[in-house]
Every structure is written in C-alpha cells, then in structure tokens.
Amino acid sequence: MDIRAQVSMVFHLDKCIGCHTCSVACKNVWTDRPGAEYMWWNNVETKPGTGFPTLWEDQDHYKGGWKVTGNNASPKLELRSQNKLDSFVKLFYNPNQPGLDDYYEPWTYKYTDLFNAPEGDDQPTAIPISQITGEPVAIEAGPNWDDDLSGSPIYAENDINLEGLSDEEREQLFEIERISMMYLPRICNHCANPSCVASCPSGALYKRGEDGIVLINQDVCKGWRACISACPYKKIYYNWKTGKSEKCILCYPKLETGQIPNCFQSCVGRIRYLGVLLYDADRVAEAMKVPDHALVESQRTVICDPFDEKIVALAKKNGISDEFIKAAQLSPVYKYVMKWKIALPLHVEYRTMPMLFYVPPLLPVMGKVDNGIYENPLEQFFTSLEKSRLPIKYLARLFSAGNESLIESVMKKLMAVRYYKRSLDMADLDVVMVSRMMREGATTPEEAEAIYRLTALPTIDERFVIPEIQMEEAIESTCNPEVCKGSCGLGMNQKVERGL
C-alpha cells in the first residue's frame, strides 16, 4: 500500500443558492489579469444546462478523461484525447479543443464614451468592447449564459445528461410552472488519476505529494494545451497573453498557512466542506478500470480508514505528518463520503478519480406537485423518488455513472434525516412511518443527528479541517526556488523574498 494524503472537498448542493460569490471571490484574486479574463477557475452552472465551456460534458467531442481498452482479463486505461499514433500530430493541431466560441469573448464597456461624449439631448452609452481586441463586440455568450434556466428549454434541452430520459421524464423537467433546476458549482477536482497530468508532453503538470493539489509549473509549460483536451471537466485554461496553461491551485498559499481557500471562505450558502482523505495510490489505476456502474464503490475502496492503526502506520512511514493524520480523522469529507455515503463524485465515468464530492440535491424530490396539490411524502415515500422533479436517471448521469440505485439510496437517507428531525418537533408525523423511513434510508437516530448537525449547524472549524503546512516544507516538497524561480505561477520564491 502507498498511503497518500489528499486535501479533498464536499459541495452540498441542497444549500447552493447560485449567488456566484465563490466565482467572483476566485476571479478577484487569481484571474483578474490580461490573458485570463475569460477564465473561471470556479464557476457555477445551472442544471439542466450546457455549462461552461459549452457542452463540456460531451466527451465524444472533447475526448477528455480515460477510456478502458484491452480485454476483460487485462483491461488498460488509455487517454481518450491521445494515443501513440496521433499524440505528436495533436501537438500542432487538435480539433478537440474548445475554442473561444465555446467559452465567450470577454468584454468590457467603453466607459470613456460616457465622459467624452459631447453635450446633447441623448444620454451617452458605453458600448461593449472586446477585452482581447479592443474592438466593439456583439455579446452572444457569457460564462453564465443559461443561468437560472434563462432561455430554457433552448439551452437546457441540449444538456447531454438528458439522453435516455423518457418523454414523461423530460416533460417533468420542462413543463412550464413545474420546471426544476439545480446549481452545480465546479472547480478543478484535484483528481487522484488526473488525465491532465498524464497528457502533458512537457511534464509541467504535477500532483503535489503532500496534499494532492494538482498544479502547472509555469516555467516548464510550453503551451501545447494537451491538458485542456485531456481534462474532461475543462478546468484548465490557456492564457492567450503568456502562452501558458493555468488552473485552480486550491489557494495553496492560503492552505499552507492554515487558511481557507477563497471560494470556500466566501460561500454564502455554506455548502462547502474541506478536509483530508487518506488513500492508497497503489490501487487508483486498478479501481478506475471497473465497469461504469461499479466506479463509485470502486473509488470508495481506495479511500482508507484514518482510524485504522495499520493505515496510520503506513501513512507515517510515507512521511505523512501527525497533523495531516489528525486532520484526516476529523475530516468532514470522510464523514460525507465514506461514513454516511451521501456525497458522490461528479462524472466518475471519466475515470480521473475526482476528489471533489457532491451531496445531490433533495429539494426537487420533496417539492413534487400533482394536480396542484403537494404530494404528502409520508404517504408517497416509496414512490416519490421515481416521480421526482429532477429524475433519478438525470442525477445518476451526473453523480454515479448511471447507477440509479446509488442515487436512490442517497436520496432515501437524506429524506429519512429530514423527516426524522421533523418528527421531533411536529406532531403531524406517524411514528411507525418515520421508523420505516429510517430503515429504508439505512440510517439511525444517532447518524441522522450527526448528518443534520454537519449539514445545518456546522461551525467554521467543523466545515474546514485544514492541517497547516509549513511554508518551508511546502517549498521543499513542491519546488526548489533555485530551480523553479517561482514557476508555480505564484512566485513562491518572490513571496519569500518579499517576506510574505
């Protein structure tokens, strides 16, 4: 076993209000500079919808992530974006890259017109101009163009996760007045089997040993952009000014001093949790070779129990500090993913083993209206899941590689927790029915209380359990300032010179 530590994340989607504060907090700090205007290391999408860049989930087109090749006896993982024959050619021409139209042409407004317009009867206006060319531009797309289902079903119907839904299920989603949606905040998943790292011909991408954060060495990056194709989540961006690729760095300069990443700290809905997971790096590749429906379970087998003495001993042998091990034992991510099993990876079928997990939204299940009357979930508990406004099949496409029974088990547990808590305060619930729900949701009063506590009332210390990494340790383990000269893009050696 090769035990590694990973700073990992959970996003609780029932709590996301789609305010985009996270995106702006990230942009203000990291991508508010020339060449990076169109980048959103953190973005929030409305689902169903086509996302950013447009249709990023369409791997038939973008060829991101890994595919399984070989026979059943000896399956192999191969990058979808490259093979031995065409990887050299694709250095010079890659038809699977997103273009500017798939993102959007960043724009600002010609504010000087407001000040310099001659006196007249009409109010002066500031026309939109491209931030790339400076020329007037017709705005045809933006990073949140289909936000809050604006324009739906024009955009939402193109969501590729709707494939395979019956007419009735589509009607459930798109019937006006019953239309339903959810928010999906996205950052780099800091994957355990990152296809971006495997694809880089220059070796510029790497996964940090001490905390699993995936970074691009800016001095080594040659701007080949193979990583942009290979990342199935489209979370690597090309800086047109510097000619290098860039991505989310999980605010590692903050993490190293025990602080919270910007998008996490600023989250208005408090949907975000951050903590350490221990995992067995020896088993990552094997675990990602199983059939789609078994991938979530397979990923869980790679994540280790931080209370197991054998795991702790192996972790220490691998140089993982006591502080990291303690953080893994207190990790809210471990509770959601492994203990309660209600947080799932996004599109695990891309086989990059994403280390960001989502608690799927329950609200649409509870909000089903039939003939103008809200269904009573107590009576309908066992059937309401099938008729939920966001079809189980759709959620399964997002969070369990199509395994609907996994989504159902998460939903049942979430519903059981909600009705258990309600039963304590309200006299309107049948005790027999609630205990039946608890059985069906495979939960207990103790577990329900713990889930409720971490979901609804967590303190900041419960949401973010961050082991502090000493700056000197981080420099030593991630880059040698003598060699890299601030190649992480953040100028770590410059930061040291500046006494930060």
**Which positions lie near ligand SF4, rule CB under 6 A?**
16-22, 44, 183, 185, 188-191, 194-196, 214, 231, 233, 235-236, 247, 267-269, 271, 352
Residue with the shortest CB distance to ligand SF4: 269
- Closest approach of Cβ 350 to ligand SF4, in Å? 8
Q: Find residue 216's DSSP bridge partners.
A: 205
- Closest approach of Cβ 231 to ligand SF4, in Å? 3
By beta-carbon proximity to ligand SF4, the closer residue of 87 and 329 is 87
* Integer Cα distance of 423 and 443 in angstroms: 15
Phi, psi of 352 (to 5 degrees): -90, 0
- Closest approach of Cβ 498 to ligand SF4, in Å? 29
- Closest approach of Cβ 197 to ligand SF4, in Å? 7
Phi, psi of 154 (to 5 degrees): -55, -45
Answer for the pair 13, 183: CB distance below 8 angstroms, yes or no. yes
By beta-carbon proximity to ligand SF4, the closer residue of 22 and 475 is 22
By beta-carbon proximity to ligand SF4, the closer residue of 63 and 190 is 190
Q: CA–CA distance from 388 to each of 75, 360, 391, 392, 475 (Å)?
A: 37, 13, 5, 7, 50
- Closest approach of Cβ 355 to ligand SF4, in Å? 8
By beta-carbon proximity to ligand SF4, the closer residue of 21 and 477 is 21
By beta-carbon proximity to ligand SF4, the closer residue of 214 and 465 is 214
Place of tokens 């305060």: 425
- Closest approach of Cβ 306 to ligand SF4, in Å? 23
**Other beta carbons within 10 Å of 498:** 8
- Closest approach of Cβ 433 to ligand SF4, in Å? 33
- Closest approach of Cβ 288 to ligand SF4, in Å? 12
- Closest approach of Cβ 55 to ligand SF4, in Å? 16
By beta-carbon proximity to ligand SF4, the closer residue of 271 and 337 is 271
Write out the two tokens for 166: 């019956």
By beta-carbon proximity to ligand SF4, the closer residue of 20 and 244 is 20
By beta-carbon proximity to ligand SF4, the closer residue of 186 and 368 is 186
Q: Shortest CA distance to 55 belongs to which of 183, 158, 196, 174?
A: 158
By beta-carbon proximity to ligand SF4, the closer residue of 349 and 375 is 349
